[in-house]
Structure 1
């Protein structure tokens, strides 16, 4: 073997190892771009999480403001009911012929009821007046059915106890009597008829 042949053999492995090293060496720009993209993705996800948290917190604060008085208002409904019962239990003849202290007492009770209703409304509590409306199981509770062919079946014809809502939530459903036997509404039996039947 000639000395030149040995040099060529030694040079060939060195060239191969140099090309392998060049292949395995990573460009620092590519590495930095990959890290930047990863950090950008994490940042965007974090921003989205923070925005969702902000919206959820705003919604919870708004609900807390709107419904904070719900339990107190629910307790006050019994007071409103008792005041109304007191007014309704005075016969009309006695009311018309009332004089002196008794007349002042009746006027005071009327004034108290009006003021109580205004106070409840100021805090977002509204009284439901379902008489003559179609039965709605979301805000009404059927207590009995009333045979009445003059009004559409499923119409509220009697209110046993007033209902109240606070915001868009039912504080207390109205206890009602529902008409039965009248003309059908919406081409069939109204939604409340089954509920009214089950209540009897």
Structure 2
């Protein structure tokens, strides 16, 4: 038997491996299944000039509204902080106004007792020492909460802080100068708590009276 017949009877196994089996898809079909279908490119949206201008106007309007809202929110926050600060600073104003009357009475008690009487009576002196300590403690509490006594004596009359009770002649001071404090005035921080009652120097003859109006 010759070689050609042997070859036909015994096919090369490599040829069988390269041949598709029964029911197997062809390479062309397999390539068609795995390759994605290409999509046509999206067409750009065209806007006319009027539409563009309208959209730009709407954006500008929304931006303006946003800025206004932010500004208003900031104003409300600052106003709230200022109101809280003022409430905190002046919360004791009414109470302090009542206490300045106590300070007046303590001062009257101290000025009513002369030094000679205190030196002659030990018990009275001890009592006055206690009153002085009470006055100092009250003054310290006033200072802690921003309550301060007005410095009026020798100053020019100020209708915002002084109430003129009388005018005094021949004082040697310029007209309108405070020459006597009859009742001390007080402020709490920068706000008037109680005006001072004062006497002021009177103007010379023929010059009328000091203008005590605000």
TM-score range, shorter chain: 0.7 to 0.9
Deviation of the 1:195 alpha carbon? 1.3
Deviation of the 1:78 alpha carbon? 1.1
Which of 20, 26, 31 pairs up with 2:54?
31
What per-residue deviation string (whole Å, max 9, x for no partner) do you get for residues 18-52 of structure 1? xxxxxxx7754333222111100100111111121
Aligned to 1:132: 154
Query: TM-score under structure 1 normalisation?
Result: 0.76
Aligned to 1:89: 112
What per-residue deviation string (whole Å, max 9, x for no partner) do you get for residues 76-120 of structure 1? 111111111111111232123331x22211100011001101111
Q: Which has the higher contact order (CA 8 A, sep 6+)?
A: 1
What per-residue deviation string (whole Å, max 9, x for no partner) do you get for residues 136-172 of structure 1? 1111110000112411111101111000000111000
Which of 181, 184, 193 pairs up with 2:210?
193
Deviation of the 1:61 alpha carbon? 1.2
Aligned 1:61-72 pairs, distance under 5 A: 61-72=84-95
Which of 127, 130, 139 pairs up with 1:105?
127
- Cα distance in 2 for residues equivalent to 1:110 and 1:97: 18
Q: Contact 1:149–1:181 (CA<8 Å) still a contact in 2? A: no
Q: Which of the two has higher C-alpha Rg? A: 2
Q: Contact 2:180–2:199 (CA<8 Å) still a contact in 1? A: yes
- Cα distance in 1 for residues equivalent to 2:170 and 2:195: 23
- Cα distance in 2 for residues equivalent to 1:193 and 1:38: 61
- Cα distance in 2 for residues equivalent to 1:33 and 1:160: 72
Query: TM-score under structure 2 normalisation?
Result: 0.71
Q: Contact 1:135–1:154 (CA<8 Å) still a contact in 2? A: yes
Aligned to 1:167: 189
How many residue pairs end up in the alignment?
165
Which of 76, 80, 83 pairs up with 2:103?
80
- Stretches of structure 2 lacking an aligned partner (at least 5 in a row): 1-47
- Cα distance in 2 for residues equivalent to 1:41 and 1:82: 62
